[in-house]
Amino acid sequence: MNKIESGDKLDFNNVLIRPKRSTLNSRREVDLTREFKFKYSSQIWNGIPIIAANMDSTGTFEVYKCLSTFSIVTALHKFYTIEDYVQFNETKPDPNLFMISTGINDDAISKLKAVFQVIQCNWICIDIANGYISRLVEFCQEVRKEFPDKIIVAGNVVTREIVEELILNGKVDIVKVGIGPGSACTTRLKTGVGMPQLSAVLECSDAAHGVGGHIISDGGITCPGDMAKAFGGGADFVMVGGRFAGHDENPGEIVEEANGKQYKMFHGMSSDKAQKTHYGKMNAYRASEGRVLKIPYKGSLYDTVNDYLGGLRSTCTYINAAKMKNMAKCTTFIRVSQQVNDLFASSSS
């Protein structure tokens, strides 16, 4: 018998954050840095808990160069070679501020071993589209055994039971949460599978924190307010893809159209474009679950990051959260039918 789960499931655009009396009189009084200890790794991490997605447009060495100045993490995409990492290591990167990404294919652990022979890094991101397959938990166990002190991230999932499974049995420190919310993702259209991102964050953060783990909210960020809602909903880290694309620091040429508007290209990692670029073809048994998009050219990534950090500081002053770690306990959401007045949105620059 088919089942329909009752109760509303909400996305970021279904809510606003209720303001409350605040003793903070300036954004300067807000501390966005956090310190994390982990269930399995003995590492202690300090920084601003935002992560550039491990996509080939955003999880790059150039993006790392920018984001590391803010103590923000870059999840490097999994298609860099050992030679690439040798060259990257010559720049003396901070091992706390980038992740080595991997899939779960047969040679994944041997490649990880090879990477860690040429570069020091404290993070491993085990990234697959469908975090519900049994092989993911098995692979996470193998990675933990091989790299017992790394901060291990795994995903993607959107429900309580698999978050607990990955933490308790997969021995991961952080679970990546999000199926289909990304701007370049078509998983929900192709499969009908997913969960509105705010509800996923609320459910999965509660589950993770109950067993001593953490979560990353991955996807669905359209503006600084969405990022604030993710943190307010209990996310420990927020991962950003499309909003960190389209800048000077992202790969690809600037394309100027006849109307004078400038763009850079951005694509999902399950798109036909990505599959052909990195694997030479799209296998016949799969469907493309990603879009190829034209992103308006945005100039410097530094400016976008400062805009997002400024928005987060402002949120904190509205809810009396002097520190980033206090955002969840200071946040009350209210259901809304409309977030903004977009009367003149089409005429804005």
* Spatial separation of the C-alpha atoms in residues 154 and 132, rounded to whole Å: 11
- Token pair in block for residue 27: 């954004």
Question: Sign (positive/negative) of CA torsion 223, 224, 230, 233?
Answer: negative
Contact (CB, 8 A) for 74 and 96: no
**Cis-peptide into 341, omega within 30 deg:** no
Contact (CB, 8 A) for 178 and 156: yes
Does 185 qualify as catalytic in the annotation?
A: yes
- Tokens 């150039």, residue? 62
Closest CA to 40 of 122, 132, 134, 112: 122
Contact (CB, 8 A) for 100 and 125: yes
3-state secondary structure of 314: helix
- Given 66, 185, 204, 330, the catalytic residue: 185
Does 316 qualify as catalytic in the annotation?
A: no
Backbone phi and psi for residue 262, each to the nearest 5 degrees, phi listed first? -110, 145
Q: What type of residue sits at position 343?
A: L
Closest CA to 51 of 247, 218, 268: 218
- Given 58, 60, 102, 187, the catalytic residue: 187
Catalytic residues: 185, 187
